[in-house]
Structure 1
Amino acid sequence: MFSTRPLAVTVDDVCFCHWPVDADVLSRSVPDWLTVETADGDAWVSAVAHTVTGVASFGVDLTRPAEAVNVRTYVRGPDGQRGVRFLAVFTDDPLAATFSKPALRLPYREGRLDRRDDDGEYRTRRTLDVDGRRVLDVRYTPGDGETTTAPPDSVAAFLVERHRYFTTDGFGTRLVGSVGHDPWPLGSVDADVSGSLLSALGLPDPAGPPLVHYSPGTELGLSPPRPLWLD
């Protein structure tokens, strides 16, 4: 059952794929009023592949289940507030993109997403861009153990526990939105990640192999962004 939040999004089967990248090069891909944040000496770009099992506003169901991948990096705002900057959002639900783009000011992109279970042995997620290029392939097997939450001040917490996002409107106004949720439940996962996602988005090459986290899912409470000076 959905909560009575203004916008509640339930996500399942969430695979976080994180790449370390050069902070100076990545800074060219974010507005100059944001500062790229680092962990373990690197900036990070993450692709969060997930299934949206429902979207509701004040308890009223708005859309059907859909596949999605959001691509983000980690930044601080002008006053040091920690958050994320979305670099791209792929979804196979055109209605969600049509209505969410003006409301949430997120950079939706056209593409084709596919998720499959292979006889229970492993799962695959494939994302193709509008030109049919395979930009992200994730083949993974979640572990059977209990989930835990990321320890405070860990790299895992840095990468998954974010409650604020920064964006701009068509006039260049600096905006901030919130994403409320309980700490992500994280479980073990065996994963293989490939594709040309970073280069397809004009982002720097990875400085190392991807780090992967898995969550069975959670509910997110989203608020539309508002001018930063009101935050």
Structure 2
Amino acid sequence: MLKRRLLEMTWRDALFCHWPVDPAVVSETLPDRLSVGTHEGDAYLSVVAFVMDDIRPRGAPLGLSFPELNLRTYVEGADGPGVYFYNLDADDPIGVALARRLFALPYYRAEMNVSRPRSADRSETAGGPVRFTSRRTHPGVPHVRFDATYEPTGEAFVAEPGSLDAFLVENYRFYAQGNRLYRGEIDHKPWTLREATVDIRANTLFEANGFDRPDGEPIVHYAEPIEVGADRIRSVS
């Protein structure tokens, strides 16, 4: 539970794609104060795509909305376990500029679109497949393209504590390297998950972050919309 909820928002249309990798692959990419987090001996690289909806200071009537796409892994740090972000691509020029100017965090400007097929009356079909596309437009950094269509299947569930599903999605602390190592805290109820199918037509996040593309098919989750609170970002002492 956060001591303060400076920001409130809703996350929706969330896609999680997780690839198991050798911990050594991750270890050499981490800052000195972080070590690899594993589950039953495996490290993971995860691509996460979602919409941050109605982001606003607590109590404010209106907020901003934009998609985000990131590549992350799982770590242990002095402030506790969490996820480590290699990149945070966002269709939000003001937020990207502030994050880079104030903290030099790995935020990058991108053009993104999130859509669903339309029905005969031209309205978007609720609960159907979601298409998420992203093209990085940030100058001077590796190009990134992502294009995927995903759809939830099966019954909704909440990850069991200690399970692989919980290790991959139930994370309430994040780390990112900027002009120093930073951490942030979030707060929300456990994710309501569904298994999902995904058709990934383009994904250059691994190459852009210096990784070989992992072998095999990912573990895929779709997450129902969730209310999220966030505290301010702090440097790791």
Same fold (TM over 0.5): yes
Q: In structure 1, how many angstroms separate the alpha carbons of the residues matched to 2:105 and 2:192?
A: 25
Q: Which of the residues 179, 186, 190 maps onto 1:183?
A: 190
Q: Does 1:228 align with 2:236?
A: yes
| Structure 2 runs not aligned, ≥5 long | 119-124
Q: In structure 2, how many angstroms separate the alpha carbons of the residues matched to 1:35 and 1:199?
A: 22
SS of the counterpart of 1:12?
strand
Q: In structure 1, how many angstroms separate the alpha carbons of the residues matched to 2:61 and 2:32?
A: 38
TM-score (norm 2): 0.83
Task: Return closer, same or farther for 1:88/1:202 CA change in 2, 3 Å cut-off.
Answer: same
SS of the counterpart of 1:118?
coil
Q: In structure 2, how many angstroms separate the alpha carbons of the residues matched to 1:167 and 1:228?
A: 10
Identity value in percent: 33
Task: Return closer, same or farther for 1:134/1:75 CA change in 2, 3 Å cut-off.
Answer: closer
Distance apart, 1:188 and its partner CA: 3.0
Q: Which of the residues 163, 183, 205 maps onto 2:213?
A: 205
Q: 1:142·1:214 contact (CA, 8 Å) conserved in 2? A: yes
Letter in 2 for 1:226: R
Q: What residue in structure 1 maps to residue 131 of structure 2?
A: 124
Q: What residue in structure 2 maps to residue 109 of structure 1?
A: 108
Distance apart, 1:136 and its partner CA: 2.1
Distance apart, 1:62 and its partner CA: 6.0
Alignment of 1:112-191 (within 5 A): 112-119=111-118, 120=125, 122-130=129-137, 135-143=145-153, 146-170=155-179, 172=180, 174-191=181-198
Alignment of 1:66-85 (within 5 A): 66-78=66-78, 81-85=80-84
Distance apart, 1:105 and its partner CA: 6.2
Distance apart, 1:205 and its partner CA: 2.7
Q: In structure 1, how many angstroms separate the alpha carbons of the residues matched to 2:46 and 2:62?
A: 27
Pairwise CA RMSD: 2.5
Number of residues of Structure 1 aligned to a counterpart in Structure 2: 222
SS of the counterpart of 2:225?
strand
Q: What residue in structure 1 maps to residue 122 of structure 2?
A: none
TM-score (norm 1): 0.84
User: 1:119-176, CA deviations, whole angstroms, 9 ceiling, x for partnerless residues?
Assistant: 4453211122238956322211223x55221111111100100111123452x3x433
Q: In structure 2, how many angstroms separate the alpha carbons of the residues matched to 1:216 and 1:104?
A: 31
Q: In structure 2, how many angstroms separate the alpha carbons of the residues matched to 1:161 and 1:124?
A: 24
Alignment of 1:37-116 (within 5 A): 37-61=37-61, 63-78=63-78, 81-101=80-100, 106-116=105-115
SS of the counterpart of 2:224?
strand
Q: 1:83·1:164 contact (CA, 8 Å) conserved in 2? A: yes
Q: In structure 1, how many angstroms separate the alpha carbons of the residues matched to 2:99 and 2:82?
A: 19
User: 1:87-130, CA deviations, whole angstroms, 9 ceiling, x for partnerless residues?
Assistant: 10111111222334456764101222122212445321112223
Question: Higher mean Cα deviation, 21-30 or 212-221?
Answer: 21-30
